[in-house]
Structure 1
């Protein structure tokens, strides 16, 4: 199997590390590479947290400080081995990140960055005011790292250690991003609605990546403490928190290699500008901060995806090796018998303040039945969809699925029961392939988590997930789009992709929100054929659609809404003859 360019790059770098260590490079450049390695390690956490997960944090430097101060205090005061303090520091970092994450990650918008700024400042002043930590002078005389009598805490030996740890982190992150858990993390950035509809606990994954980012920073702090042999709060304050984020953004916060590029560029520029600018201006000062500020503005304007995005565009996009044909099929859920009551909507109501958007709507869906939910724009159809799927909470009434009340459950819990949906406005991850987007729909049918993905023990499950994704794409006639980037698709194929993704969840009830919008005539006819096939297989479908030709072709029962109320319901023939419907929606006869 051919290696991906990123994996090949890691292998090349891993092979180059020992070579660089024995080359006759000046010690100055080895020291620079050591700092770049530690900075890149911290920035990698921000690639996962900010670039992939869409969560902005200014508190990364504080977690570097926890790792550094833990090893410094334990080795100086208790004589604990530095190799043991690494793991103690990681435990303390994980615990603190978990507490901070649980408190702050429920926030959205600008509140999360502000909360991480407050966290970083709090820890900075705590470090600077504790006598046990040396206050603002810090802790001095930290021992160097060694294996037996061999000192590896400085120079070239430290370079090999740092860069092998960095490359191990990068490899683990690449493995994570190309996995079931990684696809779930990517979905968070697009907003919680789609991810929760796939059965993903967005809050749990947010906390997970926050902790992982903190752990990478903690290891960097451990290395930094033993490399400098001293720690003080200045290296872990808000300024460094901003600088780490700056490295990630300039290098390319969406890319693993962006952390390497950003850390290298900022470290080298920082050192050079501190020497050159005072000579040019004729006075000393932190003028490099001004240059970095201007540079950040230019990058955000002209290269919003960072410097590595230019390289990424030039790299060949090789299609994923198709190695799942012989994989075992995923287990299927127990389906209802033909004619069994699947969905019972009983007098549901939704009020937004004084506005009643849905007013006492009731209808039922049985296995093997397609029910159309129709009505003029603003009738409350999408709101009804969101009430059934748990996106919105009910003001009153109940929704039961296969005899169990599901109203009041979160969207992800309802999805896990076997209810799958598409959206009125297509929701997807544009920079993932069609295959990967569709595989996201099978999230609830897999079990391997973040740890399994990072150490690559999830390969068998991944093959099974991709086998199912390919099967569903071929089922709706999109087999040739497997390796196409989803963002390149026209609107019609995007909607079909959403249906394939919903089918990947192996639902007993499928809710389709305007699936024919943007489809050409032949695509609509193909869609109608797919819906009939699904009905014949015993699936229940709730369809919201404005295309009356399609509705009349495929639906067994129609529910007509007007201004949030139930106007009437019946067979397509009955609805076509109903004068109230013709007046309100289909138009009166002339």
Structure 2
């Protein structure tokens, strides 16, 4: 209902704007709308997915030059002759070229870590801007002029007011589909990238595909903005599509709020209006002309990063939230949705995971030396040992994060050594992390729903057009059920970052269990918890065991483990030193000496 009210208000404002604004103000509004569309792609790519790009202006140039070329060149190559003079042809060509470039660049950089993407976008942004200026067919540095008036469906957009309606209609549509996307399974997959790729892969998310989706949508928005720019200016030249322009779009995202879709509009408006004002004011103050506004914007971004790190839009939203009366929790409408299909449960006592002879070398360091263990359905197996015993290395190999140097891992009857975390998740393994990995700005419910990612099937287009509502209701209902299971039902609408550590660990378990696993790996789940929180956690793990789930946990807290585990596996210096029932292990002289520091 709130979204419909906002949409109605925005449509009404756009409808009356040309009647109330001066021609100059209409021109500014058109420039703001185009810039906001470009910045919206950056918000999705950089602020939400966590992928920094300096090349967004180059995608705008691709869309603009495609439209200008088809609209002005008299004799086109035979393959493009049917598109000549068609604005729709220019739009289609610009989108096709922008998406093709994005696919090539993404394929090269997305599988690499670190700063390869931003460095790559700088490099190809410079290259494409240079191409625009040196290609004779594109008019060189002189550019292409004589672009005719845009005509769509028999309507001529020959005035600033009519162009305002078109530009802002496109922008509002882009805002709507982006909001729809982020409120979906596919949107949560993109958001999960910012929480770390290991977490995302462990939840079954195809990280490369999620990155590519964000990159392609950002490129498409920029290309459409370029098409609108070409028909608004009726002239294109290389300067507006340079690396400097790409940095300006990043400024807009930072000023408005890099993680807020409305921040794209706020940032574009603040930047363009301020730039216009500063270009008039600063030369009078300095006594000479120059690009002094760049210095001011640099200082503005520094101040904003200190006092409003999330941008203006986010700060306003937080202030409005504080001013409002606390709202009651949203109704659990999804609880009436049909349950998601569940995987076949293993038989009680069935061996879920069997690892034999696991050896892992890092150069001359032997982290795991011929380790063998198995986990059965309906039991809790605890792996303990002093720091440096090799527990985390073993845990990473069992969960698919690392590959054994030697040995075999059989998971549910299939060889799994070297399988990816995503493949292990698909076959029924879920895990938590030693250091909690949540998305603090998302709600508790949204974080839990990430765990059910592999249990949905709807794609990007269905999400953007809101055709996934039935499946989305099922996913959210499953997330609510698991939150109720861990005692967090009352916190569904709270931000995950507001929870105390103990409840954050419970949320991680709810997220993992939402995947419907048959094996749950818990990495030091009791670390940092108070006594009461440990008791609550132990009760939860015991309930999961009673439901037939196999649980393997790595833990330091001896008291916690001994009162919970069915079997205990003790490691020291990468090797097994004891294995058996808690009471037997607790009395083992080797354990007393290695783990407790006692003298055997």
Structure 2 length-normalised TM:
0.95
Name the CA distance, whole Å, in 2 between partners of 1:370 and 1:496. 17
1:520 aligns with 2:530: yes
Cα offset for 1:300?
1.9
Preserved CA contact (<8 Å) 2:70 2:89: no
1:60 — aligned with what?
A: 56
**CA separation of 1:529 and 1:92: change in aligned 2, threshold 3 A:** same
1:349 aligns with 2:353: no
**CA separation of 1:153 and 1:104: change in aligned 2, threshold 3 A:** farther
Cα offset for 1:497?
0.8
2:12 — aligned with what?
A: 15
1:124 aligns with 2:120: no
Name the CA distance, whole Å, in 1 between partners of 2:11 and 2:121. 34
1:465 — aligned with what?
A: 475
- 1:172-198: CA deviation from partner (whole Å, max 9, x where unpaired): 111111111111111101211111110
Match of 2:386 among 335, 360, 376: 376
Cα offset for 1:457?
0.8
SS in structure 2 of the partner of residue 261 of structure 1: helix
Preserved CA contact (<8 Å) 1:153 1:226: no
Name the CA distance, whole Å, in 2 between partners of 1:153 and 1:351. 70
SS in structure 2 of the partner of residue 420 of structure 1: strand
1:412 aligns with 2:422: yes
Preserved CA contact (<8 Å) 2:402 2:418: no
SS in structure 2 of the partner of residue 400 of structure 1: strand
Cα offset for 1:8?
3.7
1:304 aligns with 2:309: yes
Name the CA distance, whole Å, in 2 between partners of 1:336 and 1:314. 51
* TM alignment of 1:442-461, pairs within 5 A: 442-461=452-471
**CA separation of 1:587 and 1:279: change in aligned 2, threshold 3 A:** closer
2:87 — aligned with what?
A: 82
- 1:331-367: CA deviation from partner (whole Å, max 9, x where unpaired): 0011211121110111112222221222221111111
* TM alignment of 1:528-543, pairs within 5 A: 528-543=538-553
1:179 — aligned with what?
A: 184
Name the CA distance, whole Å, in 2 between partners of 1:390 and 1:296. 41
Preserved CA contact (<8 Å) 1:349 1:395: yes
Match of 2:518 among 487, 508, 525: 508
1:249 aligns with 2:254: yes
The unaligned stretches of length 5 or more in structure 1 are none
SS in structure 1 of the partner of residue 217 of structure 2: helix
* TM alignment of 1:94-243, pairs within 5 A: 94-147=99-152, 150-243=155-248
Preserved CA contact (<8 Å) 2:147 2:230: yes
Structure 1 length-normalised TM:
0.96
Cα offset for 1:295?
1.6
Name the CA distance, whole Å, in 2 between partners of 1:421 and 1:579. 32
Cα offset for 1:587?
4.7
* TM alignment of 1:284-323, pairs within 5 A: 284-316=289-321, 319-323=329-333
Preserved CA contact (<8 Å) 1:348 1:358: yes
1:431 aligns with 2:441: yes
**CA separation of 1:22 and 1:425: change in aligned 2, threshold 3 A:** same
Name the CA distance, whole Å, in 2 between partners of 1:153 and 1:376. 76
Name the CA distance, whole Å, in 2 between partners of 1:122 and 1:476. 53
Name the CA distance, whole Å, in 1 between partners of 2:284 and 2:599. 86
Cα offset for 1:320?
4.1
Name the CA distance, whole Å, in 2 between partners of 1:331 and 1:538. 17
Matched length: 586
Name the CA distance, whole Å, in 1 between partners of 2:187 and 2:220. 18
SS in structure 1 of the partner of residue 311 of structure 2: coil
Cα offset for 1:532?
2.2
Name the CA distance, whole Å, in 2 between partners of 1:94 and 1:320. 39
Preserved CA contact (<8 Å) 1:154 1:227: no
Name the CA distance, whole Å, in 1 between partners of 2:18 and 2:279. 27
SS in structure 2 of the partner of residue 122 of structure 1: helix
SS in structure 2 of the partner of residue 543 of structure 1: strand
SS in structure 2 of the partner of residue 92 of structure 1: helix
1:483 — aligned with what?
A: 493
Name the CA distance, whole Å, in 1 between partners of 2:26 and 2:547. 65
Name the CA distance, whole Å, in 2 between partners of 1:504 and 1:153. 55
Once superposed, what is the RMSD of the aligned Cα atoms? 1.6
1:495 — aligned with what?
A: 505
Preserved CA contact (<8 Å) 2:592 2:598: yes
1:40 aligns with 2:36: yes
Cα offset for 1:11?
3.0
SS in structure 2 of the partner of residue 57 of structure 1: coil
1:266 aligns with 2:262: no
The unaligned stretches of length 5 or more in structure 2 are 77-83
Cα offset for 1:546?
2.1
- 1:266-287: CA deviation from partner (whole Å, max 9, x where unpaired): 1112222222222222212212
Name the CA distance, whole Å, in 1 between partners of 2:560 and 2:418. 33
Preserved CA contact (<8 Å) 1:434 1:486: yes
SS in structure 2 of the partner of residue 200 of structure 1: coil
